[in-house]
């Protein structure tokens, strides 16, 4: 049996599909002489062109006109004799084909991403695609198409990036296993949102499991049984059945208000990553949306979503939720949430770097596009804006100024919009410590325990070696939470929690005691959270 961290409850029984981490390390490749290296490069280029032409054809038959245009752009670039001759020149000076392709592509990526023009930056991400494909062909590594796996698959990868997770079709996937990542990594959050059992940080999983192995995944205990005996399979089938029954027993809480035994009214909301998830919040009995992670709208694409696209996403959620509150967080990128086309500079310490509200305040056009879309969508429901990673009061003031500027523009343009409350995430020790001051500027607080725990304990939320320190129950984290709630109450503003700890049945009694108003959890945990609160 393999053991990791149970990161998303439930049991999965199925067949292993290993998602190769495209290891593009070519440091062990030996130089075979200029002629051979050039021939290898030319073969890879020819193969790339052949594959790309095939994809363009099939996209044209289907509906992917835009994608086929992008791929045609790739062909034009690679057919440019200058690019190839530069690679061949490097080979003449002793580079292996992989290094030649990598170096020349990187040169183009740097050149394009340094230009302050959307189209050019788009080119940079095109060249990155070309680079990765060429390296895969040269090294003979092939990526698995996650969206095409067959029913009953259990996916195993070193880690799932958000873009990999977003390709998962939950009808066909029974569970996921990773070698790294903890309970609050984004793979864990997305697995819970999809209701998929997940065992994370399972050491050596990609080595000890082979494609096609029969697997049992226990998403509570983080255990994986490889090629189990028949008895184990029937034991887990029984457990699976009991688990489904237990979930059904929560249904009595579906239409119940969230009220403690002593009569205190609380709210259980859902966290979402895309507009259509709003349906699952309602299907799970959610009373609102406490966190819409808008960064997912910006992923898996080559350019930022336009104001109209964002407006459609936000207004869709607002309409689905009707009068219910919808808290939408402005773009929270950086750290583990990279977006290639935004050309975020590589930083020594991305988690302490130019991310979230810091990045948005410095990239005003991008920020304004999102804010205008939010204000316009607000006319269709009960939207509130939430700023991520706030550390000082000036950030709220600066954001509010930009919001006022957007409102003035919308008014002048005669477009329909609505002013909305602007609140903040309390997810840095700084914000918690000055929460009395921030409460004067923020319309509400939502405590982000995922980051608050990491920053307070000075621990990387995805590093298994220090996972014992990554715990919202540490006294310093509890003190930060309590202080934030107390300061919100004193200022008379609502305070919620949208970090994973909001669904922790051991923490909920303390949160209720301290006066937390709203608990925003992954949709599949809404009813259990309500049950825990109602039983207090
Ligand atoms: C948090 O930090 O607690 C949070 C909810 O935000 P995210 O997990 O998206 O960083
Ligand atoms: Mg956070």
In this predicted structure, the answer to whether residue 163 has a pLDDT above a threshold of 80 is no
Q: How far is the CA of 483 from the centre of ligand 2 (A)?
A: 18
Q: Among 183, 190, 277, 450, which is best to mutate for testing ligand 1, by the most ligand atoms less than 8 A from CB?
A: 450
> pLDDT higher for 488 or 146?
488
Q: What residues contact residue 436 under an 8 Å CB cut-off, 6+ apart?
A: 487, 490, 491
Q: Which has the minimum average pLDDT: 85-89, 166-170, 209-213, 265-269? A: 166-170
Per DSSP, 443 falls in state: S
In this predicted structure, the answer to whether residue 215 has a pLDDT above a threshold of 70 is yes
Q: E-assigned strands of 342-470?
A: 382-387, 422-426, 445-447
326-329-331 Cα angle (round to 5): 145
| Per-residue model confidence as pLDDT tens digits over 278-333 | 998 998 999 999 999 999 999 878 899 999 999 999 999 999 999 999 999 999 99
Q: What is the pLDDT of residue 115?
A: 74
Judge whether 90 and 103 are in contact, CB under 8 Å.
yes
Residues having CB within 6 Å of any atom of ligand 1: 291, 293, 332, 427, 448-451, 498-499
Query: Nearest ligand, CA of residue 499?
Result: 1
Per DSSP, 275 falls in state: T
CATH level 3 topology of 2-19+144-235: Glucose Oxidase; domain 1 (3.50.30)
Domain 34-139 has CATH 1.10.1060.10: no
Residue located nearest, by CA, to atom 1 of ligand 1: 448
User: In Å, how far are 29, 77, 86, 261 from 102, measured between CA atoms?
Assistant: 13, 15, 11, 64
What's the mean per-residue pLDDT of the chain? 91
Q: Among 186, 499, 501, which is best to mutate for testing ligand 1, by the most ligand atoms less than 8 A from CB?
A: 499
What are the residue numbers of the active site? 186, 498
Query: Nearest ligand, CA of residue 186?
Result: 1
Q: What is the pLDDT of residue 64?
A: 47
CATH level 3 topology of 261-534: TIM Barrel (3.20.20)
Q: Which atom of ligand 1 is nearest to the CA of 291?
A: 5
Q: How far is the CA of 47 from the centre of ligand 1 (A)?
A: 42
Q: Among 427, 431, 452, 484, which is best to mutate for testing ligand 1, by the most ligand atoms less than 8 A from CB?
A: 427
Report domain extents, the chain. Answer: 2-19+144-235, 34-139, 261-534
Query: Nearest ligand, CA of residue 187?
Result: 1
Q: What residues contact residue 284 under an 8 Å CB cut-off, 6+ apart?
A: 270, 523, 524, 526, 527
In this predicted structure, the answer to whether residue 372 has a pLDDT above a threshold of 60 is yes
Res. 63 pLDDT band, cuts 50 70 90: very low
């Amino acid at each position: 049996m393999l053991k990791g961290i149970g990161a998303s409850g439930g049991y999965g029984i199925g067949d292993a599909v290993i998602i190769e981490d495209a290891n593009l390390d070519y440091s062990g490749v030996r130089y075979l002489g200029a002629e051979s290296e050039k021939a290898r490069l030319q073969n890879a280029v020819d193969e790339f062109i052949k594959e790309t032409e095939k994809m363009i054809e099939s996209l044209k038959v289907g509906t992917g006109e835009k994608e086929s245009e992008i791929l045609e752009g790739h062909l034009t670039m690679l057919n440019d004799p200058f690019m190839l001759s530069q690679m061949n020149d490097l080979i003449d000076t002793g580079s292996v084909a992989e290094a030649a392709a990598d170096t020349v592509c990187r040169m183009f990526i740097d050149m394009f991403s340094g230009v302050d023009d959307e189209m050019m930056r788009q080119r940079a991400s095109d060249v990155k695609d070309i680079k990765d494909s060429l390296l895969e062909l040269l090294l003979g590594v092939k990526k698995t198409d996650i969206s095409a796996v067959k029913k009953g698959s259990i996916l195993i990868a070193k880690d799932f990036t958000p873009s990999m997770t977003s390709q998962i079709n939950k009808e066909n996937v029974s569970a996921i296993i990773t070698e790294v990542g903890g309970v609050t990594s984004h793979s864990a959050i997305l697995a819970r949102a999809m209701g998929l059992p997940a065992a994370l940080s399972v050491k050596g999983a990609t080595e000890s499991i082979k494609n096609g192995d029969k697997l049992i995944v226990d998403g509570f205990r983080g255990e994986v049984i490889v090629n189990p005996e028949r008895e184990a399979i029937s034991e887990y089938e029984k457990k699976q059945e009991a688990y489904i029954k237990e979930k059904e027993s929560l249904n009595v809480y579906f239409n119940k208000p969230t009220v403690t035994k002593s009569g205190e009214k609380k709210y259980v909301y859902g966290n979402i990553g895309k507009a259509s998830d709003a349906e699952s919040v309602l299907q799970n009995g959610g009373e609102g949306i406490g966190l819409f992670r808008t960064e997912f709208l910006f992923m898996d694409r080559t350019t930022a979503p336009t104001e109209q696209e964002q407006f459609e996403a936000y207004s869709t959620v607002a309409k689905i939720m009707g009068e219910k509150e919808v808290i939408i967080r402005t773009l929270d990128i950086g750290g583990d949430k990279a977006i290639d086309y935004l050309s975020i500079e590589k930083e020594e310490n991305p988690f302490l770097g130019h991310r979230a509200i810091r990045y948005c305040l410095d990239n005003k056009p991008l920020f304004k596009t999102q804010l205008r879309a939010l204000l316009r969508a607000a006319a269709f429901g009960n939207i509130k804006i939430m700023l991520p990673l706030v550390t000082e009061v000036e950030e709220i003031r600066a954001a509010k100024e930009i919001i006022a500027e957007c409102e003035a523009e919308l008014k002048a343009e005669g477009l329909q919009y609505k002013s909305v409350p602007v609140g903040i995430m309390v997810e840095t020790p700084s914000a918690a410590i000055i929460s009395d001051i921030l409460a004067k500027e923020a319309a509400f607080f939502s405590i982000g325990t995922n980051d608050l725990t990491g920053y307070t304990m000075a621990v990387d939320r995805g590093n298994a070696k220090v996972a014992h320190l990554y715990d919202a129950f540490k006294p310093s984290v509890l003190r930060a939470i309590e202080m934030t709630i107390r300061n919100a109450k004193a200022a008379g503003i609502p305070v919620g929690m949208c970090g994973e700890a909001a669904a922790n049945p051991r923490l909920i009694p303390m949160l209720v005691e301290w006066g937390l108003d709203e608990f925003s959890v992954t949709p599949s945990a809404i009813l259990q959270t309500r049950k825990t609160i109602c039983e207090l």
